[in-house]
Amino acid sequence: SQQGEEDPQALSIQEGENATMNCSYKTSINNLQWYRQNSGRGLVHLILIRSNEREKHSGRLRVTLDTSKKSSSLLITASRAADTASYFCATDNNDMRFGAGTRLTVKP
Amino acid sequence: EAGVVQSPRYKIIEKKQPVAFWCNPISGHNTLYWYLQNLGQGPELLIRYENEEAVDDSQLPKDRFSAERLKGVDSTLKIQPAELGDSAVYLCASSLRGGGNEQFFGPGTRLTVL
């Protein structure tokens, strides 16, 4: 069963624009992770945010976590065509549960 | 450093046939995961191993699926007999230890059941 639920399901933007993806979940968590999956490839870990953290940055990525609302967001700034991929949030409560993902398309 | 290795990459079988997938995790990673991923969906956990012990297999359909991780390193996932609905990508991942660590995923095995 999947816990995280990403929104939107699909997002199409122009290169250079920012992309924001949201994740909602249902139960308490130890941490939340974001992964990227290029077409036909395995998943690649992007960032992990712990339940006692509110915001985390990694390069052009910014992740926020609101445990009171059981939600997280992933912001990709200054997007590039190479950012085109599916993005998944995964909640970690001693086991990992992935959402259905957001399909991001960045047009050159 | 080599990543997670999976084989085969693709497998086509007829329904009711058996099939097996193999995974070699990153050296030193105690935790190994098997996931199933349907098209357009996120991975769904089938089983998690800590060393050679299966610590979470609640999502594994035990009537036809089985897994083992002998010696706490390589792992195999087997389906017998396969059904049409088993067509999916089977992903293997490993991490240093269960919770709180990033998982490293293999490229997956794409199974097609005809």
Write out chain B residues lying below 8 Å of A97, CB-based. 45
Eight-class DSSP state of B35? E
Q: Which one of A7, A96, A97, A102 makes the best mutation probe of the B interface by having the most chain B beta carbons within 10 Å?
A: A96
Q: Which residue has the higher pLDDT, B55 or A72?
A: A72
Tell me the pLDDT tens digit for each residue of A65-78: 999 999 999 999 99
**pLDDT tens-place string over residues B59-80:** 899 999 999 998 889 999 999 9
Burial class (CB within 10 angstroms; exposed 0-12, middle 13-18, buried 19+) of B63 = exposed
CB of A52 within 8 Å of a chain B CB? The answer is no
Give the list of residues 6+ apart from residue B63 with CB closer than 8 angstroms, or none. none
- Rounded to the nearest integer, the mean pLDDT of chain B is 93
Minimal Cβ distance to A95: which of B4, B56, B105: B56
Per-residue DSSP letter, A4: -
Whole-angstrom distance, CA of residue B90 vs CA of residue B21: 8
**pLDDT tens per residue across span A52-99:** 999 999 999 999 999 999 999 999 999 999 999 999 999 987 778 899
On chain A, the residues whose CB falls within 8 A of the CB of B33 are 96
Q: Name every residue whose Cβ is closer than 8 Å to that of residue B41 and which is 6 or more positions away in sequence.
A: A2, A100, A101
